[in-house]
Amino acid sequence: MMTNISKVALSLTLAAFITACGEKPKPEAQDQVSADFQCKQENILAPTWTCIPDVPGYYAGVGVAEKSAAGIAHMRRVALMNGRSDLAQQIQTQVKDKVEGFTRATGNGSAETVDKVTTAVTKQVAKVDLKSSKMVNMWQAPSGAIYMLVTVPQSEVNKEVKDAVKTSFKNDEALWQQFQAKQALEQLDKEFPTE
């Protein structure tokens, strides 16, 4: 997948270079290029989700499996595993950012406290079981490689995160008293909606 991203980045860089050497495009032409984005994998048009995995209400990731003599069933398992790995990395990054924002917004202590809570929650979320993740789409490239869109509901992950945040704060009595403030609970619901 990284090689495909590298190819796309190289193609965009070359296109920008060639455009810069030519006449200045009209503003309408620039708007049209961004509106006409087309996802390409292996130099052919591919479903947009293979480039930008985005499913409202879900964390979404793409898993790729190269063509294998072991067969399509093996390739599907590999793609699903890679998709889940992509999901786990995305979730950990987003959760870390949201928890840091939450702890600072609610006024819960120094940078040390923020780091302590963030670390505890990140470790807990790393254990979040992705069993509820599932394949929602699949595409086979000309090379035989398969691309798999894998999702997990944001509400399920957010519930696990909220529970981990509460547990982390309960481990420190002073923080727990600050956390129980209405502002903190409202901010937690805002950052991690479960409805």
First to last CA, the chain: 34
Please say whether the structural domain 51-191 has been given the CATH code 3.30.70. Answer: no
User: What is the average pLDDT across 33-60?
Assistant: 89
pTM of the complete model beyond 0.85:
no
In terms of residues, how long is the chain? 195
For residue 117, give every residue at least 6 positions away whose Cβ sits within 8 Å of its Cβ, in sequence order, or none.
99, 103, 108, 165, 168, 169, 175
| DSSP label at residue 48 | G
> Does the pLDDT value for residue 83 go beyond 80?
yes
* Most confident by average pLDDT, 14-23, 80-89, 116-125, 172-181: 80-89
Give the C-alpha separation, 33 to 17, whole Å.
15
What is the average pLDDT value for the chain, to the nearest integer? Answer: 75
How much is the pLDDT for 62? 96
Partnered with residue 182 across adjacent β-strands are: none
Taken in order 126, 188, 56, 97, is the CA torsion positive or negative? negative
Question: Comparing 7-16, 144-153, 183-192, which segment has the lowest mean pLDDT?
Answer: 7-16
pLDDT confidence tier of residue 23, bands split at 50, 70 and 90: very low
Partnered with residue 152 across adjacent β-strands are: 59
Q: Which two tokens stand for residue 41?
A: 């994998």
Give the C-alpha separation, 34 to 114, whole Å.
39
pLDDT, tens digit, 9 for 90 and up, residues 142-179: 999 999 999 999 888 888 877 777 777 776 666 656 66
Taken in order 49, 50, 52, 56, is the CA torsion positive or negative? positive
pLDDT confidence tier of residue 14, bands split at 50, 70 and 90: very low
Give the C-alpha separation, 89 to 97, whole Å.
13
Question: Comparing 19-23, 133-137, 177-181, which segment has the lowest mean pLDDT?
Answer: 19-23
Q: Which residues of 38-51 are buried (b: 16+ CB within 10 A; e: fewer)?
A: eeebeeeebeebbb
pLDDT, tens digit, 9 for 90 and up, residues 99-111: 777 666 666 555 5
Give the C-alpha separation, 41 to 102, whole Å.
38
